[in-house]
């Protein structure tokens, strides 16, 4: 028996490039959310009812088809279960099944369509910062939990204190601990709704202490997360630069400690094609190593191309500060930049590297004469 005719189309759909599918999915999510907003505005919905409903159903059909395509592709690759229980698989399933499930359970179509807000989860895998946030939360889970315990302690102490001080004066709003907890949460988070406030002097004193404590607690949380993000950013940048440095032949022979030393002083530049890096006659204060890509050096009477592992601009650091040629990228390139001050420090620490650069600079000077 032949396979269903739709399977080849599902396979082709699943085999589309990730970049193209990401762009399409983002556009569909944006269209669906716009239709969802219009759905809640009665005059606009009545004026464009047919278009809004058509857009919502089209978005739902797209996400259902996308989920089926990826599921079929995963099953053919013998990893259907792994995809189904993965984060991406669960998000795809929720996007495809949430609205139909609500309708099947008896919810009216308009209310069930509000579950289209779950389509926002489709954007999560494309946000690189969320992966970093997850790592920060894992690494800083101890300090974060400690501050959470402190928050809960202040919350309960404040609730009990205000309950004891205010219950006889305002029994309607402070007559029980659950009611007082609402006040404590609002005050500790410094939201300040103002719907419930203590009236006794001691009650107001407790409220003032709670507000100050709230600022301190959230300041601690903010500090922990900010420090964690900064550490992770430095770590990611260090790893990327390390990877680029290890590809340069002049640095590949160095040991791990030396490469780490080099990594700390180099900065990375990602440049598109046809970008002018160096202009002839301008003063120079840095040299460049090509980690990937290619550049073109415009010398008198000829043009020279340098590729991965080559370097240029060293003459500006060896005495001749004036650039002698125009240099531009010919393709997408990643360059490692070494500034003058860092150059002297690095050469002092690694004399062998200094001799290599001096020899290469002399060789190029001979060739360019």
- pLDDT tens figures, 252-289: 666 677 777 777 788 888 888 889 888 888 888 888 88
Q: Report d(CA 189, CA 102) in Å as an integer.
A: 35
pLDDT of residue 70: 83
- Per residue, the 3-state secondary structure of 73-85, as one string, reads HHHHCCCHHHHHH
Q: Give the torsion sign (CA, 79, 80, 86, 91).
A: positive
- Per the CB < 8 A criterion, the answer to whether 95 and 118 are in contact is yes
Q: Is the predicted pLDDT of residue 126 greater than 50, yes or no? A: yes
Cross-strand bridge partners of residue 296: 305, 328
pLDDT of residue 347: 74
Mean pLDDT of the chain: 80
- Per the CB < 8 A criterion, the answer to whether 349 and 261 are in contact is yes
pLDDT of residue 74: 83
Cross-strand bridge partners of residue 283: 322
Tokens 């440095």 correspond to 245
Tell me the CB-side half-sphere exposure of residue 288, using CA atoms within 13 A.
26
Percentage of residues in the chain having pLDDT higher than 70: 83
DSSP string, 155-212: HHHHHHHHHHHHTTT-HHHHSSHHHHHHHHHHHHTT----SS---SHHHHHHHHHHHH
Residue 329, classed as helix, strand or coil, is: strand
pLDDT of residue 149: 92
pLDDT of residue 1: 42
- Per the CB < 8 A criterion, the answer to whether 39 and 45 are in contact is yes
Mean pLDDT of 170-177: 86
Q: Report the predicted TM-score, pTM, of the whole model to 2 decimal places.
A: 0.60
Q: Report d(CA 124, CA 133) in Å as an integer.
A: 12
Alpha-carbon Rg for the chain, nearest whole angstrom, is 31
How far, CA to CA in Å, does 225 sit from each of 52, 192, 213, 238? 41, 24, 19, 20
């Amino acid at each position: 028996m032949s396979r269903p005719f739709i399977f080849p189309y599902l396979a082709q759909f699943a085999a589309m490039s990730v970049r193209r599918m990401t762009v399409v999915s983002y556009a569909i999510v944006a269209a669906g959310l716009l239709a969802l907003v219009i759905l809640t505005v009665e005059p606009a919905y009545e004026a464009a009812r047919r278009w809004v409903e058509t857009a919502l159903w089209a978005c739902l059909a797209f996400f259902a088809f996308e989920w089926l395509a990826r599921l079929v592709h995963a099953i053919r690759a013998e990893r259907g279960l792994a995809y189904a229980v993965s984060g991406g698989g669960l998000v795809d399933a929720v996007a495809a099944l949430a609205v139909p499930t609500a309708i099947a359970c008896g919810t009216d179509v308009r209310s069930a369509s509000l579950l289209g807000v779950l389509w926002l989860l489709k954007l999560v895998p494309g946000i690189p910062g969320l992966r970093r946030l997850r790592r920060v939360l894992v690494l800083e889970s101890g300090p974060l939990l400690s501050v959470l315990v402190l928050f809960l302690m202040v919350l309960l102490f404040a609730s009990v204190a205000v309950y004891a001080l205010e219950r006889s004066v305002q029994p309607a709003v402070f007559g029980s601990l659950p009611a007082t907890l609402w006040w404590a949460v609002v005050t500790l988070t410094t939201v300040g709704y103002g719907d419930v406030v203590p009236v006794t002097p001691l009650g107001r004193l407790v409220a003032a202490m709670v507000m100050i404590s709230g600022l301190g607690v959230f300041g601690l949380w903010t500090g922990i997360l900010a420090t964690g993000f900064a550490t992770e950013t430095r770590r990611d940048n260090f790893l990327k630069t390390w990877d680029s440095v290890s590809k340069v032949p002049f640095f590949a022979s160095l040991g791990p400690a030396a490469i780490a030393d080099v990594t700390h002083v180099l900065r990375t530049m990602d440049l598109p094609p046809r970008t002018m890096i160096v202009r002839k006659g301008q003063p120079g204060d840095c040299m460049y190593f090509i980690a990937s890509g290619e550049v073109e050096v415009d010398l008198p009477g000829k043009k020279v191309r340098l590729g991965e592992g080559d370097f240029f601009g060293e003459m500006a650091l060896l005495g001749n500060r004036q650039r002698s040629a125009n240099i531009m990228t010919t393709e997408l390139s990643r360059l490692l930049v070494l500034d003058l001050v860092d150059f002297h420090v690095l050469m002092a620490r690694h004399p062998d590297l200094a001799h290599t650069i001096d020899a290469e600079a002399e060789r190029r000077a001979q060739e360019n004469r």
